[in-house]
């Protein structure tokens, strides 16, 4: 029996494929495009591209056509194609970085807005380069601290931030979803309908899983929270009290319990307070919990396993130690290479705040490509998913390690290994 293991290459060239050759000049030399592509390819163990003058000529001609309107339309050409445009002088390196980083384009923002507008019978918005340039400049300013502060500029303005790679669509959804809620809980604080012990327990279970000591109840702080809940119960707005304590807020249109409220924070819901422009709970990243604990890895696997009736996996410290040592070994260049060890192995990488749960989510996201009837992948990769739900792999250990280039390397090792050819996962 041979064990089949696959790599997962995350977020490479998500846009359709090719190059926007424009204008000539020192920013647009072939070797600049090549270097930018080949660096990204090397990082994931893919061989270099070479320049082809026939393709380059085609790209230049199409860039010339589009230079009248600068629209992000594909050329219907016979080649893979990536396009980029910017309100500034985008150079080769920046263009490739946009593709590698899955940056968002005007069309994504427009579509998300116009869908919401159409739903209520309001006509579409159009893109305005001058306004976009203002927004980009302000996003650049704020990228240093990610604070949700308005620019006080001449335009109407919506802001969003997330601890993950927030897409244009997700950002607009946050704004669209802003609806009246019933406030029922203030945390590290209290709602009168739930007992202190419920809040304390829900926090301390989460703290224990990451080795942080328990919180205790403090009646002075609780009194403060109750009083502020009373104030806010008139308008139910998710505004912070600006008081002397750390503060988490939650609200729901149902009778939210203490445990549900804390779960919302632990689930790292993007509780972004549209009123104040602050992340609920303070801080910059709408991050209540990092989602990188052993329990997060285990839970993310067990949710997927439960869906197909497979018994849960448990954490194994020996396996976890192996995973961590390998993640540390890879943290120099973050190469997506298998360890060749004794365990089943799934790998993922992502840039920025890419969490454990994001990594497992990518593997589980392959579920639609697994066809149980034929026990094969259809229309895409599925072997990370089959390892996640492999019935006989009953233990795992995982690690997440930041590489020197800013990427996060995520590894889960499985014992016993799965993905035996000719066997079904469950």
Ligand X SMILES: *[C@@H]1O[C@H](CO)[C@@H](O)[C@H](O)[C@H]1NC(C)=O
Rounded distance between C-alpha atoms, residue 331 and residue 325, angstroms: 10
Among residues 91, 355, 395, 419, the one that binds ligand X under rule CB under 6 A: 395
Instruction: List beta partners, residue 411.
Output: 347, 399
Answer yes or no whether residue 316 interacts with ligand X by CB under 6 A: yes
Answer yes or no whether residue 202 interacts with ligand X by CB under 6 A: no
Q: How far is the CB of 148 from ligand X (least distance, A)?
A: 27
List, as one string, the DSSP characters of 342-391: SSEEEEEEEESS--HHHHHHHHHTTGGGEETTTTEE-SS--HHHHHHT-T
99 to 138: interface string for ligand X, x by CB under 6 A: ----------------------------------------
Answer yes or no whether residue 193 interacts with ligand X by CB under 6 A: yes
Q: How far is the CB of 345 from ligand X (least distance, A)?
A: 13
Among residues 67, 89, 233, 318, the one that binds ligand X under rule CB under 6 A: 318
Cβ count near 56 (within 10 Å) = 14
Burial of 424 (0-12, 13-18, 19+ CB in 10 A): exposed
Rounded distance between C-alpha atoms, residue 279 and residue 160, angstroms: 9
Contacting range for ligand X; rule: CB under 6 A; set: 8-16, 112-120, 213-221, 325-333 = 213-221
| Distance from chain centroid for Cα 319 | 26
Instruction: Kindly determine how many residues on this chain lie close enough to bind ligand X according to the rule CB under 6 A.
Output: 15
Q: Please, which residue, 265 or 415, has the CB nearer to ligand X?
A: 415
Q: How far is the CB of 276 from ligand X (least distance, A)?
A: 23
- 72: phi then psi, degrees, rounded to nearest 5: -90, 55
Give, in degrees to the nearest 5, the angle at Cα 128 between 142 and 171. Answer: 45
219 to 248: interface string for ligand X, x by CB under 6 A: -xx---------------------------
Q: If residue 185 lies in a helix (H) or strand (E), which one and from where to where? A: strand 182-187
Answer yes or no whether residue 68 interacts with ligand X by CB under 6 A: no
Q: Please, which residue, 176 or 221, has the CB nearer to ligand X?
A: 221
Among residues 2, 54, 140, 143, the one that binds ligand X under rule CB under 6 A: 54
Q: Please, which residue, 151 or 218, has the CB nearer to ligand X?
A: 218
Answer yes or no whether residue 253 interacts with ligand X by CB under 6 A: no
Contacting range for ligand X; rule: CB under 6 A; set: 93-101, 127-135, 169-177, 311-319 = 311-319
Long-range Cβ contact pairs of 156-161 (< 8 A, separation 24 or more): 159/277, 160/270, 160/272, 161/272, 161/279, 161/284, 161/285, 161/286
Rounded distance between C-alpha atoms, residue 311 and residue 301, angstroms: 10
262 to 301: interface string for ligand X, x by CB under 6 A: ----------------------------------------
Rounded distance between C-alpha atoms, residue 49 and residue 96, angstroms: 13
Give the footprint of ligand X on this chain (CB under 6 A).
52, 54-55, 193-194, 218, 220-221, 255, 257, 316, 318-319, 395, 415
């Amino acid at each position: 029996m041979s064990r089949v293991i696959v790599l997962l290459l995350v977020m490479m060239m998500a846009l359709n494929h090719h190059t926007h050759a424009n204008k000539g000049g020192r920013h647009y030399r072939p070797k600049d495009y090549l270097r930018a592509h080949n660096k990204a390819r090397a990082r994931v163990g893919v061989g270099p591209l070479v320049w082809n003058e026939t393709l380059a000529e085609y790209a230049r001609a199409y860039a010339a056509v589009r230079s009248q309107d600068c629209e992000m339309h594909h050329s219907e050409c016979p080649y893979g194609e990536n396009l980029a445009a910017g309100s500034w002088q985008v150079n080769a390196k920046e263009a490739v970085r946009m593709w590698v980083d899955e940056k968002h384009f005007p069309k994504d923002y427009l579509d998300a807005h116009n869908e919401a507008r159409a739903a209520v019978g309001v006509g579409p918005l159009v893109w305005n380069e001058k306004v976009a340039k203002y927004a980009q400049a302000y996003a650049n300013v704020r990228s240093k601290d990610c604070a949700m502060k308005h620019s006080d500029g001449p335009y109407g303005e919506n802001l969003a931030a997330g601890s993950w790679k927030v897409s244009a669509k997700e950002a607009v959804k946050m704004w669209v979803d802003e609806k009246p809620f019933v406030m029922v809980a203030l945390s590290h604080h209290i709602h009168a309908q739930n007992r202190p012990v419920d809040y304390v327990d829900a926090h301390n279970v989460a703290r224990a899983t990451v080795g942080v000591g328990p919180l205790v109840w403090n009646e002075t702080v609780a009194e403060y929270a109750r009083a502020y809940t009373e104030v806010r119960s008139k308008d139910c707005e998710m505004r912070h009290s600006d008081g002397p304590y750390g503060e988490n807020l939650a609200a729901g249109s149902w009778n939210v319990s203490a445990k549900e409220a804390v779960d919302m924070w632990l689930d790292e819901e993007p509780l972004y307070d549209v009123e104040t422009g602050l992340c609920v709970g303070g801080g910059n990243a709408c991050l209540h919990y990092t989602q990188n604990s052993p329990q997060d890895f285990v839970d993310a696997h067990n949710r997927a396993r439960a869906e197909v009736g497979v018994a849960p996996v448990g954490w194994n410290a020996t396996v976890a130690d192996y995973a961590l040592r390998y993640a540390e070994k890879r943290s120099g260049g973050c190469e997506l290479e298998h360890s060749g060890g004794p365990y089943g192995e799934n790998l993922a990488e992502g840039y920025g705040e890419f969490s454990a749960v994001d990594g497992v989510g990518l593997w589980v996201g392959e579920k639609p490509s697994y066809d149980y009837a034929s026990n094969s992948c259809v229309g895409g990769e599925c072997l990370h998913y089959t390892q996640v739900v492999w019935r006989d792999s009953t233990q795992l250990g995982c690690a997440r390690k930041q590489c020197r280039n800013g990427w996060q390397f995520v590894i889960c090792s499985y014992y016993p290994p799965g993905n035996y050819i000719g066997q079904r996962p469950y």
